Structure 1
Amino acid sequence: MQETFENHIAQNFPFLIGKNLLLATSGGLDSMVMVDLFHKLPFEIAIAHCNFQLRGIESYGDQNFIQNYAETNEIKLFLTQFDTEAFANDYKLSTQVAARELRYSWFYELLETENYDYILTAHHADDNLETFLIHLVRGTGIDGLTGIPSKNGQVIRPLLIFSRSEIAQYAEENAIQWREDSSNASDKYLRNKIRHNLVPILKELNSDFLTSFQKTQTYLQESKAMIADASFLIYQQVAKEKGTEIHFDLIQLKKLPNYKSYLYHWFNEFGFSAWEDIYDLIDGQSGKQVFSSEFRLLKNRDFLILSPINLEDEYEEFFINKNQKEVNVPLNLTFCKVDDISMASNTTIFVDEDKIWYPIVLRRWRDGDTFQPFGMDGKSKKVSKFFKDEKLSLIEKEKAWLLCSDNEIVWIVGIRQDERFRVKSTTKNILKIHLK
């Protein structure tokens, strides 16, 4: 196994050579074998051990075992303790999820503060099979069936090619000591139920089941890559990126068979999970929305618009003083006096400065705001009605800023100037305002 391991590292993880490696070590069979394998190679390693305080004196026995091992073998040790049950209760998590959150948060902190390059865990082929079956039981897409990745950012899993029995045999041949976790014997957790009851039956039906499973996962990973390629090609056809937004053309999308699969593939990475609600948007009314924790999907006529959730305070105001030539927050606006007007546009207006009261204010629009749209003969109009007539989407409305003088709207920035501040033949002082 040692020779196979060395070849595996050289072929699949050559980037580890010369790096500082942090080995996540529980004291169990798998992690102790991993430490032994790396300790025999010319790598700069350290051990990271978490005491989750879940098994009373047994947890402290694991901690002492690791401390003695690290001292005896002159390996640097990082040790921490967690009140896992309290954390799980505070954040309404299962014990297993809480332990995972705590340990990986600590691992990443060590990588940064102690200048280590990678964290290595001892997941093996049987762990991969169990994870596959857990996802299968709970229901999953292809992502959940392709297994535990051997590399995920700075997390490396170098033992995935080995079975539990191969690891146990290596431990026996090399007289490696380890600590047995008593909770592994319990069927309290789904993983243990699968390990103790389902996996033995599968291996009984096919003595080489683990090898067959690994081949199946290879095929699934290849299929996943094909799906990703197809999804990217379709994305280029139906999606258009506009700043922080992505607009999906529903007319083009609905021409495709199985278009819902593309939606799942695209939006899953943005944290969406209410898939039936998303599918209902396709034929839903304009204005309907679905949210993830950080993003929003909006149906706007023949488009789905994906955008970050706007967390800005709608009541925040920015003041611009007289003779100020430029502001950069929240928009980039420039102000300069000119002798005559040139071509006005959505991004450039000319106003009669003598009608301006300073400081002028830049703020979000609010219900009840009214103005006199340029070119409408002085007729007042609610801003909300103007937006509706201009067919602005909900996101476009939310992004709108008003430039105001003494509570009167000078400009719906980038959209329409107010008639009351227009330049006339009698205007003496002309102010040019430009949106960059």
Structure 2
Amino acid sequence: LRKVDSDLDEQSVNKLAIALNVPFYVTHFDTKQHAKQHKLSIQEAARNLRYKWFEKIRKENELDYILTAHNLNDSLETFLINLSRGTGLKGLTGIPTIHNKIIRPLSSFTRNEIEIFASHNNIKWREDKSNEETKYTRNKIRHKIIPILQELNPNLLDSFKQTLKNLQGSEDIIQDTINSISAQMQLIASQRIFNISTIKNSIKTNPQAYIHEMFSPYGFTNITDIINLLSAQSGKQVFSKTHRLIKDRDLLLMVKNRVPKLQERKEIFENDLKFKIQFQNLEIKFKIETANNKQQTTNNLTIQTDKFKIKFPLIIRKWQKGDYFYPIGMKGKKKLSKYFKDEKMSLLEKENIWLLLSDNKIVWVIGKRQDERFKVTQNTKEILTLSIKESLLFQN
């Protein structure tokens, strides 16, 4: 992007690395192409590419943290950018000093203080030429807005530093409150399953503020949609870039968005029965044995079928609208949608259901119920036993 200036920056850092006897890493990106492909601004695209590369280096070298040189001026610029775009309290607390594996040790120092320190210690640095251009929002704020604010208050950065401390303290208090309320709403502590009645009763005073604080960390920005979801029909969903909220009867479920799998179907041939089959979140083991007079038992995790009734290849796939089977122990067929409803299965459970089919007939609603047509009878000569691991079932 900066051509010659970028090359000179690289040479300067390389020279410093040699002098300090530390490793030097360099890479090159097609930032414009990445920005166009992902519909990002040039600055956002460059930032995403940088941090992804930093994390790659950190993992490859088994390092604990990534350190960046953001300073108090950068936090003030971020504060003003977020303020101009509209934000909650969190967006006004500046750039965090510690965030996951990233530490910003200079975040409490001003740019001027850092430059004075560098000059006194004969540390040379290079200015990023792109910082002088005012076509970018951050640079426009830096060169046009902040100087005016400093005219009004020559101690602007000192005042801002104290304001940040106040805002961060308030943010901590709010977060503690939100965490406490969220814990009361969640039916299962390890899962994001919320009781809608509890949500409504807990946030009567200011529902929009509570909903914003609870769900904005997961990318949800349209708070009105979430509030409307609380009273919507079962099955309705609201999406963010990373998560979705699902209304399921009296519950609100939050899960990560599903990444489309390359393979949603698997064929199992007779020769495969010698091996353990691993597919998606399933691990299936097979056993063939001669039938005897012992009473055969089945459960959700293990079924026994009459091998003679099985036609290969067996098929594993997701359930589809219109699918039906003959539940073992019952007379007649039942649509899976009706079976799921009778079993009071959540929308997420239904999404994660896999079927095992033979000749397009359901043999097993895996982990739930066997089909009557394939059960072992007095006439069975050979038994095909199939079993799965419970710990792998229904992982989202």
TM, length-normalised to structure 1: 0.73
Q: 1:122 to 1:253 in 2, by over 3 A?
A: same
Instruction: Tell me the distance in 2 between the aligned counterparts of 1:325 and 1:114.
Output: 38
Q: How far has the Cα of 1:87 moved from its partner?
A: 4.1
Contact 1:298 1:305 in 2 (8 A): yes
- How far is 1:287 from its partner? 1.0
1:371 equivalenced with 2:325 (yes/no): yes
SS in 2 for 1:188: coil
Which one is further off, 323-332 or 300-309? 323-332
Q: CA shift at 1:285, angstroms?
A: 0.7
Residue 253 in structure 1 maps to residue 166 in structure 2: no
Task: Indicate if the aligned counterparts of 1:373 and 1:380 stay in contact, CA closer than 8 A.
Answer: yes
Give the SS at the match of 1:255.
helix
The 10-residue stretch of structure 1 (387-396 or 404-413) with the greater mean CA deviation from structure 2:
387-396
Report whether the alignment pairs 1:331 with 2:282.
Answer: yes
2:115 corresponds to 1:168? yes
Match of 1:287 in 2: 235
User: CA–CA distance in 1 between the matches of 2:78 and 2:26?
Assistant: 27
2:265 and 2:315 in contact (8 A); partners too: no
Please tell me whether the aligned partners of residues 314 and 364 of structure 1 are also in contact (alpha carbons under 8 angstroms).
Answer: no
Q: How many residues align?
A: 381
Residue matched to 1:316: 265
Q: Which residue of 2 aligns with 1:403?
A: 356
The farther-off stretch of 131-140 and 273-282 is: 273-282
**1:136 corresponds to which letter in structure 2?**
L
The amino acid of 2:374's aligned partner reads F
CA contact (8 A) 1:118 1:155 kept: yes
Q: Give the AA of the match of 1:169.
A: I
Per the alignment, residue 38 of structure 1 pairs with: none
Question: For structure 1, which segment, 182-191 or 326-335, has the greater mean C-alpha deviation from structure 2 after superposition?
Answer: 326-335
Deviation of 1:64 (Å): 4.5
Encode CA deviations 1:152-202: one digit per residue, 9 max, x unaligned.
344332222222232333344445544344443432222222223332333
Checking the alignment, whether the CA contact within 8 Å between 1:318 and 1:363 is kept in structure 2 is no
Q: Deviations over 1:294-351 (max 9, x none)?
A: 4332111111122342634675024264975965545345556564437655445555
> C-alpha distance in 2, partners of 1:71/1:432?
65
Query: Alpha-carbon deviation of 1:275?
Result: 3.5
* Residue pair 1:62, 1:179 contacting (<8 A) in 2 also: yes
SS at match of 1:392: coil
Hey, what does 1:240 align to over in structure 2?
187
**Uncovered stretches (5+) of structure 1, i.e. residues with no partner:** 1-52
Mapped partners of 2:300, 2:18: distance in 1: 71
User: 1:90 and 1:345, CA in 2 relative to 1: closer, same or farther beyond 3 A?
Assistant: closer
**Greater radius of gyration (CA):** 1
Once residues 370 and 344 of structure 1 are traced to their aligned partners in structure 2, the CA distance between those partners, rounded to angstroms, is 20
1:191 aligns with 2:138: yes
Q: TM-score, normalised by structure 2?
A: 0.79
Q: Does 1:103 align with 2:46?
A: no
SS in 2 for 1:254: helix
Identity of aligned residues (%): 43
Q: Find the aligned partners of 2:124 and 2:71 in 1 and give their Cα distance.
A: 18
For residue 401 of structure 1, report the CA deviation from its aligned partner: 2.2
Question: How much does 1:234 deviate?
Answer: 2.3
Pairwise CA RMSD? 3.6
Alignment of 1:53-68 (within 5 A): 53-54=1-2, 56-66=3-13
Q: How far off is 1:216 after superposition? A: 1.9
CA contact (8 A) 1:402 1:413 kept: yes
Instruction: Specify which of 201, 204, 214 is matched with residue 161 of structure 2.
Output: 214
- Between the aligned partners of 2:361 and 2:144, the Cα distance in structure 1 is 74
Question: In the alignment, is the contact (CA less than 8 A) between 2:181 and 2:202 conserved in 1?
Answer: no
Change beyond 3 A, Cα 1:66–1:233:
closer
Structure 2 gaps of 5+ residues are 390-396
* Contact kept in structure 1, 2:305 and 2:385, CA below 8 Å: yes
Contact 2:233 / 2:247 at 8 angstroms: preserved in 1? yes
Query: Is the Cα contact below 8 Å between 2:302 and 2:386 reproduced in 1?
Result: yes
Q: Distance in 2 between matches of 1:197 and 1:121?
A: 25
Q: Does 1:228 align with 2:175?
A: yes
Aligned-partner SS, 1:240: coil
